[in-house]
A and B are shown apart, each in its own frame.
Chain A
């Protein structure tokens, strides 16, 4: 029973990491998208390089760097491991989200912008009143994919010793008790299962129109 409780507490960490990452990476991702789509060439170049580096290196490596780099470079060691994990996750996922947003925004036909423009809408109004909703509908399936991957990726926080579920399960496994590892798998399955149902519900809701 003690093990189950430990797993439950550990999974709380995963859930916390998941929710906080999602809440922060979504708006940050949108900001990065605007950066990669801007007409200002230098900014665009910086943002594209940033996305390339973040998407082109392992998340595990990024976790190590966020945890250790401040201590090595500025003699300012990071003591909050959960905080370090959160920073790495937010940056990593914001980069992925930004590419999904970009794909969605670029898929909206030019005519939608032009129709808004000739109706006297400002650029901001065109984006928020016309384009954004259509983008959300189009990116829900790929976003769902990413979100489910995020649930499982939270287990990676273990590599910088965040007391998440696998960390706790592994402590038992190293003593020869295997079942908590399988039990933690069930936790993930249950969580992603609920998310899948939620996502398909959202997709259905958005399906009231075609196009």
Chain B
């Protein structure tokens, strides 16, 4: 069964139609990259799936369970949305680390707050908190920042900050990890370290959706490429199909423009 199915997502901001019925499915362990020029709706699609925007229409189905349905007029309670949201992890273009907390605190903040809701929290407080911290140190180690555990975000480079934000998302063990242009706010020499981390996650079969402009990286890391144009999926297929032999006119134009850069 598909781990994620997105159906017919539509979203308008005022009179501007940003998504005009976008859908795709993905399997567990799959890595999908979404390409497309700015304004094609990639980021909006990610934000709609992650409940940061409310899509006007469409469905999001995780493991066969509908977690979002645009036609559902009954408003979902905030706790239902939070629960659905926890299926996903999100890495932002601008990192969005919490500046007042050090690396470790950034990573443990959400797991600790969520643990408080567990019925057995009071009884096993010590063990649960210790487990959270061990897990946090583990994911921080995965992104190679063990030496920066006690540093504050302002003391880190952009690349390191983005690695912390990946660790922060991983700490909650999401079913699917979303990346919204994770290297776009970084100097070119810092993008490599992020791409290496994502590559390593792909090798560990973490299910990921990556919105990116790094064509070479997308080809290398993805099982499938989705090319979006003007709010619809213009082309979809393996990296070889979409990047090396694009059928769609817009895909060709886009790839040519990127190559020229």
Residues on A lying within 8 angstroms of B by beta carbon are 109, 111-112, 114-123, 125, 129-130, 133-134, 137, 208-211
Contacts and interface: CB of A to CB of B under 8 A. Distances in A.
Given A120-B85, A122-B79, A125-B113, 14 more contacts: A109-B96, A111-B92, A111-B94, A117-B51, A118-B90, A118-B169, A119-B110, A120-B82, A120-B83, A120-B172, A123-B78, A134-B100, A209-B99, A210-B99
The 10 residue pairs across chains A and B that have the minimum distance between CB atoms: A119-B110, A115-B96, A111-B96, A211-B99, A210-B154, A118-B90, A209-B152, A120-B86, A133-B100, A209-B99
Contacts of B153: 209, 211
B168 interface: yes
A153 B50 CA distance: 50
Contacts of B113: 120-121, 125, 129
B217 interface: no
A116 B109 CA distance: 10
B47 to A, nearest CB: 9
B42 to A, nearest CB: 17
B82 A122 contact: yes
Contacts of B96: 109, 111-112, 114-115
B114 interface: yes
Interface of B: 50-52, 78-79, 82-83, 85-86, 88-90, 92, 94, 96-100, 109-110, 113-114, 152-154, 165, 168-169, 172
State the main secondary structure of chain A at its contact with B.
helix
Contacts of B78: 122-123
B92 A117 contact: no
A117 B52 contact: yes
Nearest to A125: B113
B98 A115 contact: yes
B163 to A, nearest CB: 15
Given A111-B92, A209-B154, A134 B99 contact: yes
A110 to B, nearest CB: 9
B99 A120 contact: no
Contacts of B169: 118-119
B100 A119 contact: no
Given A120-B110, A121-B110, A129-B113, A112 B52 contact: no
B88 to A, nearest CB: 7
